[in-house]
Chains A and B, each alone.
Chain A
Amino acid sequence: DAGVIQSPRHEVTEMGQEVTLRCKPISGHNSLFWYRQTMMRGLELLIYFNNNVPIDDSGMPEDRFSAKMPNASFSTLKIQPSEPRDSAVYFCASSFGQGASYGYTFGSGTRLTVV
């Protein structure tokens, strides 16, 4: 298995632009998680899906952020409009079972820079 695949690896965009981050979970995993990592706040859970349904989105910072999981093999995290304070590394992770009962596998992350 190729693991959790995220794209793009790096994204530089101007303030106000729309940004879409993509994630392909491990085949057979039914839970998917989006995290944001910054030096100040560490790793923060933004949202997680189980069987393609959003279970907890309380970590999504504001309405500018949205996430979808149209099928078991694909998820997107969209920021519209982007702001400089959104600059961070965004990770996607997947697991089998609700609540990561069997542990997570992380993707390599997308480093987002908003200028």
Chain B
Amino acid sequence: KQEVTQIPAALSVPEGENLVLNCSFTDSAIYNLQWFRQDPGKGLTSLLLIQSSQREQTSGRLNASLDKSSGRSTLYIAASQPGDSATYLCAVSGDKIIFGKGTRLHILP
């Protein structure tokens, strides 16, 4: 049974710092992994999608990596801004699509 874990559950960092969010999964037989952002009371916004054959994807200040063999993905945020404050979730797509419980990020001005 696929399990997706995100550590830490919450993170506070000063503005301007680079940071890394982690996602681990137990079954490496996945089609893809997707990172989402969720603002309080809102839906999920897709940030990056990494297919199983890919190692990383980049969009602006965001970079996501995927290591299927070790069951890990990271989301790197460069030069963090207060507007980056949100909950970040990863989802792995295999036989089913399973979400982690997210990392609640707070960027301190």
In the complex, which residues of chain A have a beta carbon less than 8 angstroms from the beta carbon of B91?
A: 43, 104
Let me know if B93 and A43 touch, CB within 8 A. no
Contact: A33 with B97, CB < 8 Å? yes
Q: How far is the CA of A101 from the CA of B41 in the complex (A)?
A: 27
Residues of A within 8 A of B101 (CB): 42
Give me the 5 closest cross-chain CB pairs, A-B, nearest first.
Answer: A103-B49, A43-B99, A42-B101, A106-B44, A108-B43
B53 to chain A, nearest CB (A): 12
A100 touches B42 (CB 8 A): no
Residue of B nearest to A59 (CB): B96
Q: Which residues of A contact B (CB under 8 A)?
A: 33, 35, 42-43, 45, 48, 56, 91, 93, 99-109, 111
A56–B95 Cα distance when bound, in Å, is 10
Q: Give complex CA distance A107, B97 in Å.
A: 17
From A35, A42, A100, A103, give the contact of B100 (CB < 8 A).
A42
From residue A108, how far is it (CB to closest CB) to chain B in Å? 4
Instruction: Give every chain A residue within 8 A of B105 (Cβ-Cβ).
Output: none
- A101-B31 CB under 8 A given contacts A91-B43, A91-B44, A109-B43: yes
Partner of A99, one of B43, B97, B100: B97
Q: Are B97 and A100 in contact, with the CB atoms below 8 A?
A: yes
Chain B nearest CB: distance from A100 CB in Å? 5
The answer to whether A42 and B99 have CB atoms under 8 Å apart is yes
Chain B hits for A106, CB < 8 A: 36, 43-46
**Which residues 17-48 of B have a CB within 8 angstroms of A?**
31-32, 34, 36, 41-46
* Complexed CA–CA distance, A42 and B90 (Å): 12
Contact present for B89 and A43 (CB under 8 Å) = yes
Residues of A within 8 Å of B93, CB to CB, are: 99-101
